Structures are given as structure tokens and as C-alpha cells.
Amino acid sequence: MDKLVSLAKRRGFVFQSSEIYGGLGSVWDYGPLGVELKRNLKERWWRAMVHEREDIEGLDAAILMHPKVWEASGHVAGFTDPLVDCKQCKNRFRADDPRLKGTPGDPETKCPVCGNKGTLTAPRMFNLMFKTFMGPVEEDAAVIYLRPETAQGIYVNYLNVLQSSRQKVPFGIAQIGKAFRNEITPGNFTFRTREFEQMEMQFFVKPGADQQWFEFWKAERMKWYQGLGIRAERLRFHQHAPDELAHYARDAYDIQYEFPFGWQEFEGIHNRTDFDLTRHQEHSGKKLEYVDAAVNERYIPYIIETSAGADRAALVLLVDAYREEQIEGEQRVVLKLHPSIAPLKAAVFPLVNKDGMPELARRIFDDLRGRFNVFYDDGGSIGRRYRRQDEAGTPFGITVDGQSTQDQTVTVRDRDTLLQERVAAGRVGEYLAERIAP
């Protein structure tokens, strides 16, 4: 992991938030390459979940919501972790922190940080939602929360979308947006952070059809990740045992990836039953039933949720793509990202800065950048320029050489096979388009 974290900073994928002030715990910023990677990932998700499906609509709900939403959803009462405080060194731990030996609150149990005996409190529940105040007065009545999941914005808009889009059950609503959790044991780089982005889709189905749709979405989502080029042997499902299930779920599967720190979840597929809409109906007093006029039936739909973390999925892509290889006795670091996800699609290099090569290379670069995110590099040996792009995950290297100025052809180097093909300069755009499309 350390090597990837260092590459991510060096090459401008991910920086620590507020680094010049010493950083802010578990909050990260995306640099020029990172923001492209994450945008590409989100765009592919949006395309697969919204544009390519007739039965799913998009939504962009606000982060701030009526505080009653979080009472109805169960987050005010139940979105908690048991925590233990050290009265001596003031550190705070999750009660299941593996460093804790013995029973917190017991006089013989030692604090894992300061080592003092008997200084740990018994576990107390701590809510993970960030609170703030709306309006000028900081009083209890003005408390609102930063959303801990995007899902609730979909539930409270379910009727609005249904009525304005003329969809019929079964149908879905998809959304990408920020969520916030005051995580107590964050860590592992961008794996668990306090501010993150989710890509969530809620699929509304008739009760009784839920299991079939649950199986459908499980299979679809796994297929989607494999289509991004993630190695199948590093992906698996994990079914939640009854004691792992969230308060809203009847059945849940995680899609897990084998990170260097073990198998961990990066997307959850949940059968949320009619829990959410029933609760919102009770708390808001508004009827949230679906009326099927054709058969004269009314019911509260069941919800199958696919909930992915954009940051966690981006981390999966980086970890999976990172390779160290020996090429002709030299080591290279390469990110084997799927071309559709790679931040830069190609780099254009004049072999040397003379004999008409820079002029032709610039013309090709100017032509390509209207369609693709491309990079121009004329600094250093061609070998070093290739290596720099390998580290950035750029799938194609276009070199203008002596022959190019004679016959208007260039070489295109494939990042993974290292093979070079000669292509007419005027056809490079088409060549890239054919290979970048997912």
C-alpha cells in the first residue's frame, strides 16, 4: 500500500486534505490525474445505470435534508458505534478495536496508547452523523445533519420522480453524491474517510418480486466491475450474517476486493424491503403507496439498493492496476487501468525537438485534445517519457519520429504489450476511439 500511496501523491492522484496545515484526519483531495480517474468511473456508472436503462432515472438531491428524515431512517437512533475513552490520554477507540485487550471499564484493562491500567471507560454509543446548525441560531431546534448516505434523498423524492417521469414499478432512481460520516477508526488511505462519494441506485419493486431483482442486481453489479478490467480472482461476494445486517436490510451482499490489507467491501447490494418508504410515510404523514391502476392494487414498493463508494471503487481500480515489472533488465511501475477509466488516454511525444517533429507532434496533439484527455511531453529521453506515462496509467504513447515527417505516420505504443504500431497521423483519433470505448 505504501508504494501506491506514494505514487498517488507523486503523480497527482490523491493529496492529503489541508496538507500544509498538517492534514485533516481521513479527508483526501484528488489531484489532476485522480479527478479524471474518478470522473471517468462515475461517468461509466451513470451510463450503465441511467443512460443505458429505460427503467432508471437520475436524481441529484441536496446534501442538507429535513432533520426528520434521519429520525425516520433510523440514523438518529441507530447509526452508532460503541466507543471507549481513555480518561488519562483522552484517546477514543471503537470497542471492537483489535488493539484493545481485555474488557474496557475493567480496572485491569490497559489503554493501548498510553498503557495505563483502569483508565478506559465502558463502551458508550456514539452517533456517526456530522451535525451542524441551520440559520443564525445555534440551538437544538436548528440542528441539521450532513447526510451519511445519499439513499434518503431518493426515498423522499420517490413520488416526485414517479409522477414526473411516468415510470411504472419496477423502476429505479440513481444518484451520485457526497456523504459524510464521523468515522472513529478511519484509515487505509482513501478506503475509510469522513467525506466520500457514493453512487447509489434504489430499485422499486412489487413485494414478492424482491428476491428475483436482488439476484439480478447482484449479478449485474459484479459483471460491471469485471467489465472495468478488475481481476475476477480478486473479487468476491460476502453475504451478511444476521448480526451484520443493517437495521433496514432483510438480505445483503457485499462486493469485496482483496486489498493488501485483506478482503474488504466496496459495494453493498441490499434488500431494504418496504422499511424506508413505510417509515417516511409514518413520519411525514404523506401516503407513499404505489397505485397500480391496471390491476387496481396499492402497495408500498420494496427496495433493492446497489450502494457503491466512488472513492473506494477508485481505490480498487488503483490497487488492481498497480504492477511492478521487469522490462529488459529494468524495473517499471505501471498502472494497467482500463483505457476508458485511465485519466490520460494518450501522450504525444516528438522523438527529438528538431527537424519538424515538434510541429507535427503539436498538430496531432491539438487535434486529439478536442476529443480526448491527452498530454504533450517533449522533456527527457523517450524511454523516460514512456515510463512517466506508464506510472500515470496512460494506455497509448504516440511518437513522432524521423519517418513521420516523411510519410505522415506515427508509432503508437501500447502500455501493456509494449508493442508499437505504425499508424497514419490522420487516423490516430479513430485508432484511439476504437480502443478506448468500454
**Footprint of ligand GAP on this chain (CB under 6 A)?**
149, 151, 181, 183, 192-193, 196, 198, 200, 265-268, 305, 307-309, 311-312
Nearest distance from C-beta of residue 268 to ligand GAP, angstroms: 4
Q: How far is the CB of 367 from ligand GAP (least distance, A)?
A: 39
State in angstroms the smallest separation of the CB of 407 from ligand GAP: 50
Grid coordinates 498497480 are at which residue?
A: 322
Q: How far is the CB of 296 from ligand GAP (least distance, A)?
A: 33
Q: What are phi and psi of 27, to 5 degrees?
A: -130, 135
* Closest separation in Å from C-beta 256 to ligand GAP: 9
CB of 319 to ligand GAP, least distance (A): 14
Shortest Cβ distance from residue 198 to ligand GAP (Å)? 5
Q: Which is nearer to ligand GAP, 44 or 312 (CB)?
A: 312
Written in H, E and C, the secondary structure of the chain is CHHHHHHHHHCCCEEECCHHHCCCCCCEEECHHHHHHHHHHHHHHHHHHHHCCCCEEEECCCCECCHHHHHHCCHHHHCEEEEEEECCCCCEEECCCCCCCCCCCCCCCECCCCCCECCECCCEEEECCCEEECCCCCCHHHEEEECCCCHHHHHCCHHHHHHHHCCCCCEEEEEEEEEECCCCCCECCCCECCEEEEEEEEEEECCCCHHHHHHHHHHHHHHHHHHCCCCHHHEEEEECCCCCCCCCCCEEEEEEEEECCEEEEEEEEEEEECHHHHHHHHHHCCCCCEEECCCCEEECCEEEEEEEEHHHHHHHHHHHHEEEEEECCEEEEEECCCCCCCCCCEEEEECCCCCCHHHHHHHHHHHHCCCCCEEECCCCCHHHHHHHHHHHCCCEEEEECHHHHHHCEEEEEECCCCCEEEEEHHHHHHHHHHHHCC
Nearer to ligand GAP, 147 or 387 (CB): 147
Min. distance of Cβ 362 from ligand GAP in angstroms?
41
- Shorter beta-carbon distance to ligand GAP: residue 78 or 379: 78
Q: How far is Cα 408 from Cα 421, in angstroms, rounded to an integer?
A: 14
Task: Specify the residue, 193 or 404, whose C-beta has the smaller distance to ligand GAP.
Answer: 193
C-beta closer to ligand GAP: residue 155 or 349 = 155
Would you say 36 or 254 has its CB closer to ligand GAP?
Answer: 254
Closest separation in Å from C-beta 252 to ligand GAP:
8
Closer residue to ligand GAP (CB): 133 or 237: 237
Q: How far is the CB of 206 from ligand GAP (least distance, A)?
A: 21
Please say which residue, 266 or 396, places its beta carbon nearer to ligand GAP.
266
Q: Which three cell numbers stand for residue 326?
A: 521487469
Q: Which residues contact 25 (CB under 8 A, 6 or more apart)?
A: 186, 194
Cβ nearer to ligand GAP, comparing 152 with 340: 152
Which residue has the closest beta carbon to ligand GAP? 309
Give 309 or 393: the residue with its C-beta nearer to ligand GAP. 309
**Cell, residue 198:** 457514493
**Residue pointed to by grid coordinates 414499478:** 169
